[in-house]
Structures are given as C-alpha cells and as structure tokens.
Amino acid sequence: MEQQSDNSGKTTFKVEFLGEYHDLVIDWNDDKYICKGKQLFDQLESITGVPKQYIAEINVYEPWWDPFNTQYRTIRYNETYDFRRFAITKEQILNSVSYAEGRFHLAYDIYFGNREKNTSIYYYLVAESSVPQGECCFYFCRFKNTKTVFNKVKDIINNDQLNAKVMSLDQPHIFIERDKILATARRSDMPLLEDTRLIGPTRRIHKHIDIICVKMERQNDNSDKITFRVEFLGEYHEVVIDWNDDKYKHKGRQLFDQLESIVGVPREFNYEILLQYHHVVDGANTSPGDPFYHNIDDTDDSNYPNKEEICDSIRDAEGRFRLGYDAHYWFKRTHICFFLVRESSVPEGECFYDFCRYKNTKSFYNKVKDIINNDKLNAKIASAIQPIRDYREKREILRQFDVLKYFRSICDDLYTRRYVNEQFRYMFCERNLYLRTHG
C-alpha cells in the first residue's frame, strides 16, 4: 500500500502524469477546507501547470462491481454547497485509494463555453490497475495523455485572449464548435480497447481547436495578421503573415524567412513555396488526387497570390498544413522548393502527391540539407556539370557524386500513382539512383 495509515492524519498516494510520478497528500486536519479533497486542486496546479481556477472538477475512481460502468466521485472547485452531506467524504476517498493500492493515472478532458466562461479542464484519477499495459481504458487515452497533446491543451486554457474571443462569438456558434470537441473528446467514455480508430478522434480534437483559432482571426476585421500551423518532420510550427509589414511588397514572401528558421536551409537556396488551394472548375470540385498550388516566387515582383487567395487557402486547409519538399540541382547550385500541403489531403500513414512519408523523415531530410549547405560539394558539381547540355549526362554526374538519390527518390506508391505513363516517368523519375559497386 502506498498510502499512509489513518493515524498520521494524512493520506499520501501516487499519481502518474505524462510519464512521471508525483505524491499527492490530503491532510485531514487542515481546517482551511470543509471538503478535504479540495487540497488536490493546489497540488494538481503545480503538477500540470494549469491554474486551479480553470480546473472544474477532480473525479476520483470509485470501486464498482461493473467494469463497463466505471464510477467516479466528483470534487468540484466552484461548488456552492460545500456541506458534508454533498461533499466527497474521507471514507470514500480512503476506499478509492485503498482499492487503487495508492496508485493512479491522471487523465483529463477539456470543455469550451461552459458556465465558467472559459476553457475548463476536468481531471480523472484513474486506478492504475484498471489500465492495461500499453492500452487505453475508460477516461484514460494513452494517445491523448502525452506531453505533445497536453501542452497544446494547456496553452489553449492559459490563453486569455483566445478564450475572450471564443466567448465574444454568437452563442450558437460557440455551442456548435464546443459540440464538435465534445463529440470527439467523449470518445474516451467508450470501450476504447475495441476502438481501432482512436488516433483519429484525438487528432480531430486538435483540428477543431485550431479551426476555432483560425475563425477567431478571420472574424476580427481589425486583425493585421493571419496565423496557421505547419507540421515538419513530426513537429508543429506557427507561421504568421503580417499584412502591414512594409518590408515586403508581396506579403507572402514573409514565409521564406520563417521557413528558413524551421528547415535550416538559407532562404537564398529556397526558390519557391507552393501553397495548396481548393480548385473549382465550372462549379465542380476537382478530384482530391489532383492538387493545385499557388506559386510564391522569391524573384517574381507580381502580387500573386494576393491576400484573398492566401487567406482562402488557409481557410480551406482549416489552418493546418504539412510541409513537403523537393530538392534539385539548378543554375550552378542545389536548391529546394517547399509544398504547403493541406493536412486533410494526406491520408493517415500514406503518401500524397507532394508529400512522401519516406522522404519526410529527419534522417533523409538532414542528408538533403547537408548537400544544399555544402559549398565545396556544390562547387565541384558545378565545375563538372556546367559544360554539359544533355540532361541524361547531367543526371549521371549527379549519380557519380552520390546525390541523385536525394533529388529523385520516389516511393513505389507515388511512382505508379503520380506518373501514369513511361514518358512522364522518364522525364521526372529515375529508378537507377545509386552508384554501381564492385563484387
């Protein structure tokens, strides 16, 4: 048993949160609290980083005969009736701690637009023994209970400006967006061990939260900036376009400077950024397999795409993109171009036309980045390739320098789907990418 005896006047138990264990203590002689369980709000604030005024409830696992009808005793932060007959009792808490053998997982749910007029969090002390190793259980989702997901949730809860914008919307809009989140968050109430699509709902929670963020920005007519998210090599980054930045005649070119800090390639070697947009022909949507892009060129003086076109692309993508890339040898130097591909266009665990999951890994991309940033290597390639006009000979030289495989690699899926005939495959693909070896 992890908890101390009743004679000590205190009960101590362990709580696992995001991979780390913490001691929680209830002092039964602390006269500051009528409901002694409310001491947990201060302690969970220090563990999770969420201020206690945003913690609506702490739900303590209660032993129950039916494993498919898990019960919890609730401790409310803003309870107006703090009398003994309503509050969770010492006996009930001790029974829960005893049944859990003093060890709990800390799970959570979030809600928008409740009585508290802000984003609220609800905690669940789930008996550790009720969660199968490496699997999910009622109220505890191992995909949601990660540092990456929770840090996003915490940032939203602590963002007073965002919460004020949510509450300033029309009430019907608040409830529509809130219900989208609840519809996914409450999936944790189901027998998750049988739900193989669990990762989908947890990702959609983020998606709907980000949709709200983007909608807030668009509804504010005085906003001079637009913000969206870009996933690159497994990490998300915020990208901002300031429409009043006079340093840029074409405002979209701000992306070159921001991508430089994200990808580690100087902007002079990034010659274009392609922004996916939703294309409609004669009122009919094009096939989702035929992406269209706005070309943001670092050398073109035209105002294309304009503010409206960029905002439309971001809206259609619901503010979330994946960053794909292609590297080429062009004009005496290795260059790179980037594709802002709508996240919703890329099937889970699969490849898309301009986003290959095999190329978009840290190990592969770091090789590409090293080639681009290697001035000596680029000078050697330039001296060998410059006098030659024939494209096939140029490819052979790139193969000899062992860099062609980083320029022309393409997975079998995209090879058969993107280039449907041999002529295209000859022009844009190269299957013989590697140097010949002896033996």
pLDDT band at 7 (very low <50, low <70, confident <90, very high): low
Q: For residue 424, what pLDDT is reported?
A: 54
What is the model's pLDDT at position 20? 93
**Per-residue model confidence (pLDDT) at position 29:** 92
Buried b (16+ CB within 10 A) or exposed e, 312-329: ebbbebbbbbbbbbbbeb
3-class SS at 207?
Answer: helix
What's the confidence (pLDDT) of residue 73?
79
Instruction: Return the top range by mean pLDDT from 148-152, 253-257, 327-331.
Output: 253-257
Give the C-alpha separation, 89 to 74, whole Å: 11
DSSP 8-state class, residue 137: B
User: Is the pLDDT at 299 greater than 80, yes or no?
Assistant: no
Share of the chain above pLDDT 70, in %: 68
Which pLDDT value is given to residue 146?
Answer: 87
Q: pLDDT at position 288, please?
A: 47
What local confidence, expressed as pLDDT, does residue 10 receive?
Answer: 92
Give the mean model confidence (pLDDT) for residues 256-273: 94
φ, ψ of residue 90 in degrees (nearest 5)? -60, -45
- Report whether 274 contacts 295 (CB < 8 A): yes
Is pLDDT at 180 greater than 50 in this prediction?
no
* Confidence tier at 275 by pLDDT (50, 70, 90): very high
pLDDT tens-digit series, residues 143-152: 788 888 888 8
Confidence at residue 145, expressed as pLDDT on a 0 to 100 scale: 86
Q: Is the pLDDT of residue 117 over 70?
A: no
Burial of 163 (0-12, 13-18, 19+ CB in 10 A): buried
Omega of the bond leading into 67 within 30 degrees of 0 (cis): no
Contact 25, 11 (CB under 8 A): yes
pLDDT at 199: 31
- Across 103-124, average pLDDT: 80
Number of C-beta neighbours around residue 166 at 10 A: 23
Delimit the domains of the chain by residue range: 6-219, 237-428
Average pLDDT, the chain: 76
Burial of 192 (C-beta count, 10 Å sphere; 0-12/13-18/19+): buried
Residue 385 pLDDT level (bands cut at 50, 70, 90): confident
pLDDT tens readout for residues 307-324: 999 999 999 898 999 999
DSSP string over 52-104: GGGEEEEEEEE--S-TTS-EEEEEETT-S---TTTSPPHHHHHHHHHHTTTEE
For 17-75, the pLDDT digits (tens) are 999 999 999 999 988 887 888 899 999 999 999 999 888 889 888 765 444 445 677 88
Determine the pLDDT at residue 428.
Answer: 55
